[in-house]
Amino acid sequence: MTLSLLIMISCTEKTTEKKTPNKKSEKQFSIEAIFEFPDTIYRNKTYKGKIKYSGILDTLTTDIMHDKKGIHRYISYYFITSNNSNFSLKELKRMKLDTSSAINNHTIPFYDIKFPKIGTYYIHGIINDHALIDTNKVSNPNNKVRYIENEAQVRFKIVVVDK
């Protein structure tokens, strides 16, 4: 049985407008991450899965790991498996995490997921979508490179059972 879980994550960047210093405007950056992985698995059996991903940087380019008109884009997924139901983004960043890279702008595979005990577990992770823009090739030839990063925390619940 496979369950697809839709997770909407928003990062908020607050900026102050120059005309009215006390007024703040918000820009919302959203991602969509759908886990294609069984929600119930067998103990000591190895599984693989993938995340169907959509992010704001798709508006720059849909090419991954290729120079497309001066834009280099990479999507990585850093994750752990745990029976702990909640980690903060700060805690995850301090941990040793497995890494997987996107094979295109919408698919992030992950492999070798296995649990030795029955119970409830989670796949906790960080999706890091980033792009380098060579402004000499894109629009503004001023010998600068611009780096854009969108980072979001995602989690998927799994129940491990005996056969």
Q: In the predicted model, is pLDDT for residue 42 greater than 50?
A: yes
- pTM for this prediction: 0.76
Query: What is the torsional sign of CA 37, 159, 43, 114?
Result: positive
Q: In the predicted model, is pLDDT for residue 9 greater than 90?
A: no
∠ CA 65-67-69, nearest 5°, is: 145
How many residues are there in the chain?
163
Q: Which two tokens stand for residue 110?
A: 């992950």
Q: What is the pLDDT of residue 143?
A: 67
Report the range of poorest mean pLDDT among 12-21, 54-63, 79-88: 12-21
Q: What is the pLDDT of residue 135?
A: 76
What residue ranges do the domains of the chain occupy? 2-14+27-161
Residue type, 109: P
For the segment 17-39, the average pLDDT, to the nearest whole number, is: 60
> Regarding predicted confidence, which is higher, 31 or 42?
42
Q: Does domain 2-14+27-161 have CATH number 1.10.3470?
A: no
Q: What is the pLDDT of residue 140?
A: 63
**60-119, pLDDT tens digit by residue?**
888 887 776 788 899 999 999 999 989 999 999 999 999 999 999 899 999 999 999 999
